[in-house]
Amino acid sequence: METNTHYDAIIIGGGPAGLTAGIYLSRARVKTLILNEGTIGGQMVLTHEIANYPGVESISGYQLSNVMKKQAKTFGCDIKSNITIQSMDLGNDIKTVVLEDGQQFSANAVILSPGGRSRTLGIKGEAAFKGKGISYCATCDGDFFTDKEIVVVGGGNSALEEAVSLTKYASKVTIVHQFDHFQAFEHAIDEAKNHPKINFKMESTLTAFYGNDKIESVDIKNIRTGQSENFKTDGVFIFIGYIPNTEFLKDKLELNTYGEIVVKPDMSTNITGVYAAGDSIAKRYRQVTTAVGEGTIAALAASEFLNKNKNNINHELLFQ
């Protein structure tokens, strides 16, 4: 017979948003559980160096994840990682989550922060050089390519805007796009085309990455002619879309056409007692700092919700 462990709040996802929510809730003596399907830290773990986190000059994503995890556990937050969620019921007053191994947990409130992942090219060498010359975040990693020659893959607003942004660091930016035209606003196209540091390889696609300890070159194939060339580069930034990790939430709550969780300003969803934060929600900017802010808001909103039925939560600590 399955046993059930009840919590005040369950957080799905252990990235910066989920860990922040866990820190705030646990510090206020809210009985909290974080369930994380992968490694604690989410996409943050893949970042070699974070140099724009306020109050911290430089830290690796892995180190920052461990600091956040330690804080949450110190305040009493339970954390289970590398688990698989088999099913969940969010519709009732008491929410339930069942794991693949049969463990069952319930809570009065749930915060969803499953994060997301950048859409990848899925070609030779991409996995090996991720974080070693391949990046999916200009804001995170642009500074590491100062005076370097880089490649940007994509033809939408994000690709063109980030390419222009990267010219603050890189000596040369080559945009590789599979079509003969861009899928972006005119002002973004004009800005990229008129920038002296930006060059273009249209109707082309990357087919492989090469290097030793870090990326050194890529194969670029012209789709129209079929010809390929080996192109020397110090780094590649890929902006071909973003995928929220919300497949398991389909038909359970409101998602937009991109699969992102729709939230109100207090991070509440269309289901009472269910909140969301981090890279899985509908928003424009995806940074560690934005995720931390959303995790904070979700924790505060969830605590107010819990306070309607419980009196043992120390809400004063939430605001300190």
Whether pLDDT at 314 is above 80? no
- Is 120-238 the same fold as 4-117+242-318? yes
pLDDT in tens, 137-165: 887 789 999 999 999 999 998 899 899 99
Question: Is a pLDDT exceeding 70 seen at residue 320?
Answer: no
What pTM was estimated for this model as a whole? 0.77
Is 190 a residue whose pLDDT tops 70? yes
In the chain, what percentage of residues exceed pLDDT 70?
A: 96
Could you tell me the two tokens for 262? 């729709």
pLDDT of 1 reads 39
Q: In whole angstroms, give the CA distance from residue 229 to residue 130.
A: 22
- pLDDT mean over 245-265: 95
Report pLDDT for 300: 98
Does the pLDDT at position 312 exceed 60? no
Check residue 117 and give its pLDDT: 87
Q: What is the average pLDDT value for the chain, to the nearest integer? A: 92
Domain map (residue ranges) of the chain: 4-117+242-318, 120-238
Smallest CA-to-CA distance from 300 within 284, 282, 310, 313 is with: 313
Q: What is the mean pLDDT of residues 3-29?
A: 95
- What was the pLDDT predicted at 179? 96
Query: Which CATH class, in words, describes the domain spanning 4-117+242-318?
Result: alpha beta
CA angle 285, 248, 64 (to 5 degrees): 45
Distance, CA of 192 to CA of 167 (rounded, Å): 10
Query: What CATH architecture is 120-238?
Result: 3-Layer(bba) Sandwich (3.50)
User: Where in the sequence numbering do the catalytic residues fall?
Assistant: 137, 140-141
Tokens of 218: 């890529």
